[in-house]
């Protein structure tokens, strides 16, 4: 059956020429990102468990982790968590399959604790965290879907969106968090994983406002703290020059009051230790960013099953399609993808697959159109490739 692919030319000021652009990224230790990470880690662990025990992935969705903040008393050189952070893994999973009982909650618990240990290296899992778990059983009709030997049908009427390429600001914001938490952190362990990078471009001026929860045990005193944030600032300004020739201003922890030593210090690297709750799906979209200048989907990508949960698959797929179109069709300036499913229809047959393209100046939209259609159609023909990439851990979800 021919697919309903609609490629249209979008008449619009390209992003780099719009006056105001906003881009945000929450670091992997932000309470919302921790929720996303736990949800996805649990789903991946369940996928592996299902394949190992049943030969196939069974129905599950674990996209509702809730983090309830603790209480802490951070200090230079140390500090301690007073009240543990409460993390509730929520979702549903198939607990029995053809007579085999599955250790879904135990697998979830272990996966979550492992993820946390790996990601939040200064969190003491023995005393800083209570990990709780409430997984219901999936409804039986949904479970049916997973047994069929053909393209799965959509679990919902829902849409995903994606765009490419990244703007300068998008690249800067994304890589600022990534580089601070990998490259710079390797020699400055005080940088907390709970980071928020807010980018504003006003014409040719870029302002980065960074909020970073420094880890007390690696900070001797206020001078040391000030020196570190200065070094971070220098590092980020230098980093930005790889992506732009615009002016870049960097502010770090502007909420600090140095006079009263009221600064953003943590024990564990995340503000979940002292007042900030977190949820799945409220932070970064699956491309790693929050971009009000771009179409976005409200669907959480993390924690959903990668077989038929269209809220996950179409977000990841849209992003892959957009990136491939830009790569394979050089005349494309900007492309926006929207995929809309209808419940109970095969996921390779969206109700509509829409691409909005801004061609580069002086190029023919018609040529671009047909090439883009091919990319879209190819991806839909191979939609289950997304599933495989998710299970292998090749796609980020936040």
User: Which segments are annotated as binding site?
Assistant: 136-141
Q: How far is the CB of 97 from a copy of itself (least distance, A)?
A: 13
Residues 274, 275, 279, 282, CA torsion sign: negative
- Nearest C-alpha neighbor of 165 from the set 30, 42, 397, 328: 328
DSSP string spanning 43-98? Answer: HHHHHHHHHHHHSSPPPEE----EEE--EEEEETTEEEEEEPEEEEEEEEE--EET
* Cβ at position 327, least distance to a copy of itself in Å: 23
Q: Which is nearer to a copy of itself, 101 or 394 (CB)?
A: 101
d(CA 187, CA 311): 39
In the annotated binding site for ATP, the residues are 136-141
Q: How far is the CB of 74 from a copy of itself (least distance, A)?
A: 11
CA distance 174 to 387: 25
Q: Which of 397, 27, 67, 39 is nearest to 193 (CA)?
A: 27
Please say whether the beta carbons of 181 and 372 come within 8 A. Answer: no
Nearer to a copy of itself, 40 or 63 (CB): 63
Q: What is the dihedral of CA 331, 385, 150, 90, to 10 degrees?
A: -120
| Residue number, 209 or 396, with CB nearest to a copy of itself | 209
Q: How far is the CB of 388 from a copy of itself (least distance, A)?
A: 26
Residue 372: both structure tokens together: 């883009």
Crossing angle of helices 310-328 and 384-391, rounded to 10°:
100
Compare residues 183 and 370 and give the one whose CB is closer to a copy of itself: 370
Q: How many CB atoms lie within 10 A of CB 184?
A: 18
Least distance to a copy of itself, CB of residue 338, Å: 6
Our CB check for a copy of itself shows the closer of 132 and 371 to be 132
The closest of 342, 345, 398 to 158, measured between CA atoms, is 342
Q: Which is nearer to a copy of itself, 303 or 306 (by Cβ)?
A: 303
Residue 151: how many other CB atoms lie within 10 Å: 15
User: What distance in Å separates the CA atoms of residue 7 and residue 371, rounded to the nearest whole number?
Assistant: 10
Instruction: Give the containing element (helix H, strand E) for 147.
Output: none
| Ramachandran assignment for 116, one of left (phi > 0), alpha (psi -120 to 50 degrees), beta (any other) | alpha
Strand partners, 265: 214
Select 16 or 80, whichever has its Cβ closest to a copy of itself.
Answer: 80
Rounded to an integer, what distance in angstroms lies between the CA atom of residue 50 and that of residue 48?
5
Least separation in angstroms between residue 158's CB and a copy of itself is: 8
Distances from the Cα of 217 to the Cα of 124, 213, 220, 229, 285, angstroms: 13, 12, 7, 16, 32
Question: To the nearest whole angstrom, how small is the minimum distance from the Cβ of residue 384 to a copy of itself?
Answer: 21
For residue 187, the minimal CB distance to a copy of itself (Å) is: 26
Nearest to a copy of itself of 162, 306 (CB atom):
162
């Amino acid at each position: 059956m021919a697919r309903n692919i609609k490629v249209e030319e979008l008449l619009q000021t390209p992003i780099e020429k719009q006056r105001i652009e906003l881009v945000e990224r929450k670091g992997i230790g932000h309470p919302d990102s921790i929720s996303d990470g736990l949800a996805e880690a649990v789903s991946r662990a369940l996928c592996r468990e299902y394949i190992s025990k049943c030969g196939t992935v069974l129905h599950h969705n674990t996209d509702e982790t809730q983090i309830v903040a603790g209480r802490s008393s951070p200090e230079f050189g140390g500090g301690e968590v007073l009240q543990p952070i409460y993390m509730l893994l929520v979702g549903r999973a198939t607990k029995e399959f053809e007579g085999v009982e599955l250790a879904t909650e135990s697998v979830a618990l272990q996966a979550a604790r492992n993820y946390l240990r790996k990601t939040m290296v200064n969190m003491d899992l023995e005393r800083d965290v209570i990990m709780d778990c409430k997984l219901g059983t999936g409804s039986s009709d949904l479970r049916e879907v997973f047994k069929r030997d053909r393209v799965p049908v959509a679990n919902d009427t829902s849409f995903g969106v994606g765009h490419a390429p990244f703007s300068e600001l998008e690249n800067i914001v994304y890589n600022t968090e990534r580089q601070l938490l990998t490259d710079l952190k390797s020699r400055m362990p005080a940088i907390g994983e709970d980071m928020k990078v807010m980018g504003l471009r006003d014409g040719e001026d870029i302002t980065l406002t960074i909020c970073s929860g420094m880890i007390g045990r690696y900070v001797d005193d206020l001078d040391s703290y000030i020196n570190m944030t200065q070094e971070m600032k220098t590092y980020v300004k230098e980093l930005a020059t790889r992506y732009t020739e615009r002016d870049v201003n960097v502010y770090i922890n502007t909420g600090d009051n140095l006079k009263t030593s009221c600064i953003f210090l943590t024990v564990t690297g995340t503000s979940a230790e002292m007042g900030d709750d977190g949820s799945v799906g409220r932070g970064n979209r699956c491309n790693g960013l929050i971009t009000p200048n771009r179409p976005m989907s409200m669907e959480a990508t993390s924690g959903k099953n990668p077989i038929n949960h269209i809220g996950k698959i179409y977000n990841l797929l849209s992003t892959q399609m957009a990136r491939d179109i830009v790569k394979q069709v050089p005349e494309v300036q900007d492309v926006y993808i929207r995929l809309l499913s209808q419940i109970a229809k095969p996921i390779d047959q969206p109700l509509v697959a829409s691409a909005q393209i801004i061609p580069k100046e002086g190029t023919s939209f018609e040529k671009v159109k047909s090439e883009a259609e091919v990319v879209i159609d190819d991806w839909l023909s191979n939609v289950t490739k997304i599933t495989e990439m998710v299970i292998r851990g090749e796609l980020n979800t936040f």
